[in-house]
Amino acid sequence: MAVKKKLYRVWGCRCGARFTVLETDPNKHLVPDRFKCWAKGCRYYVNRDDSLDRGLVAQAIMLYQVLSGLGSEDEKKCGPADVRKMMLGKKVVAVSVEPAPDKHRSFITNLTLEDGKTLHLAPSTRGVTIYKVTHG
């Protein structure tokens, strides 16, 4: 019997919200099987069910960023100019680092600078995304 190759991961909520991520998305593992629905007024949980019809395809990284909390308007100022200004010449005083499967590599999820700013990092296909900056 031929194995039907899965192309999508689908999540659905009772409110009708539907999220679809491509099986080829390099960040698909960042989206948990179950998470709190963020649709306005919805109090249910979104559950993974690959048998559902797919909805609009989203990038896993975008879902992950929403799930991680996007932060306030001020915390979201992470454009190139903002990041350069924040980081250049600053001393890193803390780093959240975890071992990777390859012992010569590491995963970094955030960096704290001497002025108390913490840069939150997430993987993306073109390097690391800084999606939020918190203070203190």
Q: Give exposure, 110-132, as e/b (b: 16+ Cβ within 10 Å).
A: bbbbeeebbbbbbbbeeeebbbb
Of 110, 135, 134, nearest in space to 120 by CA: 110
Which stretches does DSSP call E strand in 23-105? 34-36, 45-48, 92-99
Minimum CB–partner distance for residue 19 and Zn ion (Å): 10
Q: Which of 10, 21, 37, 61 binds Zn ion (CB under 5 A)?
A: 37
- Using CB under 5 A as the binding rule, whether residue 63 contacts Zn ion is answered as no
| Residue list 39-58, contact with Zn ion (CB under 5 A) | 39, 42, 44
Cross-strand partners of 122? 129
Minimum CB–partner distance for residue 55 and Zn ion (Å): 13
Minimum CB–partner distance for residue 75 and Zn ion (Å): 25
Which of 53, 102 has the CB closer to Zn ion?
A: 53
Q: Which residue shows structure tokens 């980081």?
A: 87
Per-residue binding string, Zn ion, 2-21, x by CB under 5 A, is -----------x-x-x----
> Which chain residues interact with Zn ion by CB under 5 A?
13, 15, 17, 37, 39, 42, 44
